[in-house]
């Protein structure tokens, strides 16, 4: 078995970890995947006779996990005052200056209903078998 460690800057959330594992474990020859959104990296154990490093890297590039993470930079120019180019950033508006440059996304969420939000592909562990 061959072990490959890749930097994946666009893997910044746990839902990305699940998706990277799904993509890689669907490939014939990939045996094990350890992925971390905290370290933006994945360690892949694979059979080099069945799949190449190039195939693994190209699959992750196709999915958008390899390469620089694009983060828009704020310019301080409100969109309604900009020239419509990509240099303006959407968050700044007239209200931004009026509120003392404070942006809030506060929301009241009731605690009725389900205890946990559903997450696709994840189910509760019901038992652990010891080997």
| pLDDT at residue 121 tops 80 | no
Query: How large is the average pLDDT for residues 80-96?
Result: 55
What is d(CA 36, CA 13) in angstroms, rounded to the nearest whole number?
A: 9
pLDDT tens-digit profile of 26-44?
999 999 999 998 998 999 9
Q: Using alpha carbons only, how large is the chain's radius of gyration in Å?
A: 21
| Domains of the chain, CATH where assigned | 2-63 (3.30.70.100), 72-101 (no CATH)
With 0.85 as the threshold, say if the pTM is over it. Answer: no
Residues 6 or more apart from 19 whose CB is under 8 A from it?
63
What's the average model confidence in pLDDT over 78-89?
Answer: 56
- The model's pLDDT over 6-27, given as tens digits with 9 standing for 90+, comes to 999 888 888 889 999 999 999 9
What sign has the CA pseudo-torsion 94, 96, 100, 104? positive
State the pLDDT at residue 72. 62
List the 41-46 sheet strands across, edge first.
2-7, 41-46, 30-36
């Amino acid at each position: 078995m061959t072990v490959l460690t890749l930097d994946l800057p666009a893997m910044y959330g746990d839902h990305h970890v699940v998706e990277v594992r799904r993509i890689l474990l669907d490939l014939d020859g990939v045996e094990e995947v350890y992925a971390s959104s905290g370290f933006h990296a994945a360690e892949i154990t694979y059979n080099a006779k069945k799949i190449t490093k190039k195939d693994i890297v190209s699959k992750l590039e196709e999915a958008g996990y390899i390469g620089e993470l694009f983060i828009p930079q704020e310019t301080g120019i409100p969109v309604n005052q900009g020239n419509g180019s990509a240099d303006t950033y959407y968050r700044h508006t007239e209200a931004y200056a009026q509120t003392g440059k404070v942006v809030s996304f506060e929301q009241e969420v009731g605690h009725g209903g389900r205890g946990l939000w559903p997450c696709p592909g994840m189910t509760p562990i019901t038992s652990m078998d010891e080997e």
